[in-house]
Amino acid sequence: MTPPVALVTALAPDPAGVVAAARIVAAPDGRGGTALPVLEGGGPFALRRVGGRGAEARVALVGAMSAPLGGDRLTLDARVEAGAALAFSTTAATIALPGRTGAPATYDTRIDVADGAALRWLPEPLISAHGSDVRTTTRVALGAGARLLLREEQVLGRAGEPPGRLRSRLTIHHAGRPLFDQELNYGPGAPGWDGGAVLGGHRAVGQLVVVHPAFEERPMAARPLGATAAVTPLAGPAVVVSAVARDALELRKVLDSWASELNDVIRAF
Amino acid sequence: MSTMSAALLVLADGRFPAGGHAHSGGAEAAVKAGRVTDGASLEAFCRGRLHTAGLTAAGLAAATAAGIDPLAVDAAADARTPSPALRAAARRLGRQLMRAARAAWPSPELDALAAALPRGAHQPVVLGLVARAAGLGPLAVAHAAAYEAVSGPATAVVRLLSLDPFEATAVLARLAPELDAVASAAADAAGAALVEGLDALPAPAAPLLDITAEQHAAWPVRLFAT
């Protein structure tokens, strides 16, 4: 896993916060591969095409400055058109930091994967630094035959510090129906977040969501993975691996081992 | 349609024969893992459960009570319940509540839902329809759902840890203002969902409740169903 890097801000941030947007569109290139007719981002978003693998185009978000800071409003839109395949990653962890005004930062991601398109969305973790307040939303709309692998990891506090406030909602619709909807809410001001029902002292939490049409006919069985993780099939063609862990490394180990196991399952379809 | 109604007391009574007593709401797994050991850790557990699973259930119940299509709310409940063990438990509880409620407050809406989902709808969806049949509004049923989210674990822990029942009741009493706040938030969200659609309903989740539900379901011997 890439170590988190807080890059230095080149310009003093506007006290009201940065407003920035990035957009990715992936479409078939007509030669069996995937083109990126739109790849644009401003402010903290620098998007780079980083080669590809077979039909898949790969895009990396390169951290251009520390973000989100309190008060920032960031939006990221990605669309994968029918027949295209996209992989998205970030070069470093995203660190939520306190802003000058105490206003929360927002980070909204909208993802659209058409029927017959594939997306692997594998960003590095979001780290909630002490004193920060960030609200993220990720809304994914999947066509009936769309394939998705999505990883989401949250780390509460940098090493040895208490966390900031983190609210994160992930909503996935499949063929127009709700498939997965979950809000996580941690840190000061989130009642009971560290009690035995929610995190019980763990500081890293994450999940891997896999949507594949073949799960419709051949759903995976639910299965506990030790005391702090589980594989759970959703009420739809999807499976979620959820885990809590002491830290980011331990969390990634669990999710990575399942990513490779799930890849084997999917290849066997 | 006021909040205060004797019908609410009947519905929220722990002796209402809807099967809730067989469920610990994740408390049995938390006790086994050493995460609930006394009154203080029970309170932290219940507070977390109230603001996650409790708020989610209260929102679903309030939305159904507000008149949103119960089948659509049931699909929203599925999306908010990643654990198959908890989806199965919610449908079983929904079926049991349906049986008791059709005797207590017969209604064509209950009959229609029972016919559409013979294996059971999610319990909060049934609860919302029962509220309509009993003349209760979204805020009242949100109170019932929020209360259930903590009263189940609190009573279960009395049995699991031989905790002083006075202490368990004191936990519930201390949580009462937060129960009111969660119920209001759920009712407000139900109002928003009438206009904006069901994504406006809250979806707060508790990772440990979801993860440990699958482990608990695999235990060969257990005192509670969840």
B147-186 pLDDT tens trace? 999 999 999 999 999 999 999 999 999 999 999 999 999 9
- Tracing tokens 């909630």 back to the chain, one arrives at A128
% of chain B exceeding 70 in pLDDT: 98
Q: Of the candidates B36, B84, B198, which has its C-beta nearest A196's C-beta? A: B36
Residue B43 φ then ψ, to 5°: -65, -40
Q: What is the mean pLDDT of residues B128-157?
A: 97
Full strand arrangement of the beta sheet holding A133-142: A34-41, A19-28, A73-80, A105-113, A133-142, A165-174, A177-186
As beta bridge partners, residue A89 has: A60, A122
Q: What is the DSSP letter of B120?
A: -
| 8 Å CB contact of A224 and B204 | no
The pLDDT, as a whole number, for residue A54 is 84
Gap between the Cα atoms of B5 and B7, Å rounded: 5
Phi/psi class of residue B114: alpha, beta or left (left: φ > 0; alpha: ψ in -120 to 50)? alpha
The pLDDT, as a whole number, for residue A66 is 61
Residue A81 φ then ψ, to 5°: -85, 160
- Domain covering B35-196: architecture: Orthogonal Bundle (1.10)
The pLDDT, as a whole number, for residue A64 is 55
The pLDDT, as a whole number, for residue A266 is 79
The structural domains of chain A, with segments of one domain joined by +, span: 20-268
The pLDDT, as a whole number, for residue A17 is 82
Pairing of strands A126-128, A147-156: parallel
Q: Of the candidates B51, B53, B215, which has its C-beta nearest A191's C-beta? A: B51
CB pairs under 8 A between A and B: 139
Which residue in chain A has the smallest CA separation from B218? A224
Task: Residue B214: list chain A partners with CB under 8 A.
Answer: 222-224, 230-232
The pLDDT, as a whole number, for residue A99 is 85
Of A115, A157, A116, the closest CA to residue A248 belongs to A157
Q: Of the candidates A171, A196, A223, which has its C-beta nearest B44's C-beta? A: A196
Structure tokens at B203: 């979806």
Task: Residue A184: list chain B partners with CB under 8 A.
Answer: 204-205, 207
The pLDDT, as a whole number, for residue A11 is 38
The pLDDT, as a whole number, for residue B30 is 97
Gap between the Cα atoms of A47 and A212, Å rounded: 27
Q: What is the DSSP letter of B157?
A: H
* Nearest chain A CA: its distance from B26 CA (Å): 7
Residue A255 φ then ψ, to 5°: -70, -40
Q: Of the candidates A180, A198, A229, which has its C-beta nearest B48's C-beta? A: A198
| 8 Å CB contact of B215 and A224 | yes
pLDDT tens, B11-49? 999 889 998 889 999 999 999 999 999 999 999 999 999
Pairing of strands A229-233, A238-245: antiparallel
Which ipTM value was assigned to this complex? 0.95
Gap between the Cα atoms of A136 and A147, Å rounded: 23
* Averaged confidence pLDDT in chain B: 96
Gap between the Cα atoms of A123 and A45, Å rounded: 13
Q: Which residues of chain A have pLDDT under 50?
A: 1-13
The structural domains of chain B, with segments of one domain joined by +, span: 35-196
Task: Residue A233: list chain B partners with CB under 8 A.
Answer: 84
Which residue in chain A has the smallest CA separation from B55? A183
Gap between the Cα atoms of A122 and A1, Å rounded: 12
Gap between the Cα atoms of A52 and A40, Å rounded: 18
| 8 Å CB contact of B46 and A244 | no
Residues whose CB falls within 8 Å of the CB of residue B154, separated by 6 or more in sequence, listed in order: B42, B46, B168, B169, B171, B172
Using DSSP's 3-state secondary structure scheme, residue A190 falls into coil
Q: What is the DSSP letter of A125?
A: P
Position B1 pLDDT exceeds 50: no
